[in-house]
């Protein structure tokens, strides 16, 4: 390690914290950053800075947004009577790419995971119930991941909503149990949405 300058060592250490990046890959990336044109390297630094300074959660649905509301919530053509509940903003992206859902979303920002110490209070479940309580939503589509925790989260929410005049559905099980929404291909996601069933 004696031959690394402090800055290079620091960059490698930061890169190695990224998911799926081991020490060797981090070293390769660091040397790549040193090799490319300075403007290219600084564009990466700017992109990281911009995303952290400009991107926040939509104040209504908790999708990623660059102003108070996300692009889905500001789109007047969306059907405000159907709400799709997902775990993460990247699930919104996957469903949007499937291109069949025309309603609005609610992003939980996680799932109930007792073993990891994540309870309902740490998610946006209260805000979801409040949205449904306002009465414009007639269907809530549960699109949490088909994992034990995702299913448990959907069940918890459907119990909370059971008193309200809203239909609760879930994605059809074309999605293999245990698979993660964001990795499911578009066609299967589209089928799962159009074939959704009563919860």
Residue 90 Cβ vs Zn ion, minimum distance, rounded to whole Å: 15
Is 123:109 a contact under the CB 8 Å cutoff?
Answer: yes
H/E stretch holding 158: helix 148-161
Residues 159, 152: Cα–Cα separation, whole Å: 11
Among 73, 93, 118, 129, binds Zn ion (CB under 5 A): 73
CB atoms inside a 10 Å sphere around CB 75: 11
Residue 60 Cβ vs Zn ion, minimum distance, rounded to whole Å: 5
**107 vs 157, which CB is nearer to Zn ion?**
107
How many residues bind to Zn ion according to rule CB under 5 A?
6
**67 vs 197, which CB is nearer to Zn ion?**
67
Residue 62 Cβ vs Zn ion, minimum distance, rounded to whole Å: 7
> Sign of the CA dihedral 155, 157, 159, 165?
negative
Residue 182 Cβ vs Zn ion, minimum distance, rounded to whole Å: 18
**70 vs 193, which CB is nearer to Zn ion?**
70
User: How much is the CA Rg of the chain, to the nearest whole Å?
Assistant: 20
Write out the two tokens for 10: 């620091």
Residue 167 Cβ vs Zn ion, minimum distance, rounded to whole Å: 22
Among 11, 30, 70, 143, binds Zn ion (CB under 5 A): 70
User: Which span sits near Zn ion by CB under 5 A: 36-44, 61-69, 93-101, 156-164?
Assistant: 61-69
Among 15, 26, 58, 95, binds Zn ion (CB under 5 A): 58
Of 115-144, binders to Zn ion (CB under 5 A) are none
Among 15, 26, 29, 63, binds Zn ion (CB under 5 A): 63
DSSP codes joined into one string, 27-71:
HHHHHHHHHS-HHHHHHHHHHHHHHHHH-EE-TTT--EESSSS-T
β-pair type (139-142, 103-107): unpaired
Burial class, 22, CB count within 10 angstroms (exposed 0-12 / middle 13-18 / buried 19+) = exposed
**11 vs 82, which CB is nearer to Zn ion?**
82
Among 30, 61, 94, 132, binds Zn ion (CB under 5 A): 61
Residues that bind Zn ion (CB under 5 A): 58, 60-61, 63, 70, 73
């Amino acid at each position: 390690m004696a031959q690394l300058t402090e800055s290079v060592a620091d960059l490698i250490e930061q890169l190695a914290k990224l998911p799926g990046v081991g020490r060797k890959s981090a070293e390769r990336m660091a040397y790549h950053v040193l090799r490319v044109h300075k403007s290219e390297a600084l564009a990466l630094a700017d992109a990281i800075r911009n995303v952290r300074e400009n991107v926040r959660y939509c104040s209504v649905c908790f999708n990623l947004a660059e102003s108070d509301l996300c692009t889905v919530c500001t789109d007047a053509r969306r059907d405000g009577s159907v709400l799709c509940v997902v775990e993460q903003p990247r699930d919104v992206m996957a469903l949007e790419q499937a291109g069949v859902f025309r309603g609005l979303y609610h992003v939980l920002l996680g799932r109930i995971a007792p073993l990891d110490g994540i309870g309902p209070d740490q998610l946006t479940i209260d805000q979801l119930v409040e949205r449904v309580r306002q009465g414009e939503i007639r269907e809530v589509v549960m699109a949490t991941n088909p994992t034990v925790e995702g299913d448990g989260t959907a069940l918890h929410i459907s119990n909370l909503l059971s008193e309200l005049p809203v239909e609760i559905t879930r994605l059809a099980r074309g999605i293999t149990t245990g698979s993660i929404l964001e990795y499911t291909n578009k066609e299967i996601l589209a089928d799962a949405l159009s074939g959704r069933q009563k919860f």
